[in-house]
Amino acid sequence: MPKKTSKQTFPPTVNIYVTAGFNNTLVTVADSKGNTLIWHSCGRAGFKGTRKSTPFAATTTVKQVVDQLEAKHVSSAKVFLKGPGPGRDAALKTLKHSKIKLTLLADVTPIPHNGCRLKKPKRG
């Protein structure tokens, strides 16, 4: 029976999902099948409380993810941004200035269309 190794192989192209909320910024790296390879958040980067919701915290978080990807020789990535938080633009700027080539940049923020159903009007 072959021995399992703990070394994880990374594909040359990955998907990077950045979720920028008002309280935190989450970064998930997945392969083309959707399997999570790396995840990181501002809390995991060492920020607590209201400092997690700053652009600097998002920059630090994305920088740590980019360093891991560069160490694994990832050459290109597709980026999917979601949410209206303050870390959104800072995360994108950090990704653009990295050595990883961005092949796709998509905004996948859910937008309500037509809103909720209205209440029944009162009679009389």
Domain of 20, CATH number, reads 3.30.420.80
Q: Note the pLDDT of residue 7.
A: 67
Q: Is 123 domain-assigned?
A: no
pTM of the model as a whole: 0.84
In a domain, 87, yes or no: yes
Q: Is 4 a member of any domain?
A: no
Domain count, the chain: 1
What range does the domain containing 102 cover? 13-107
User: Is 5 inside any structural domain?
Assistant: no
Which pLDDT does position 33 carry in this prediction? 92
Ramachandran angles phi, psi of 89, nearest 5°: -70, -35
pLDDT one-digit tens code per residue, 4-59: 555 677 888 999 999 999 999 999 999 999 999 999 999 999 999 999 999 999 99
* 78, burial (CB in 10 Å: exposed 0-12, middle 13-18, buried 19+): middle
3 band by pLDDT with thresholds 50, 70 and 90 = low
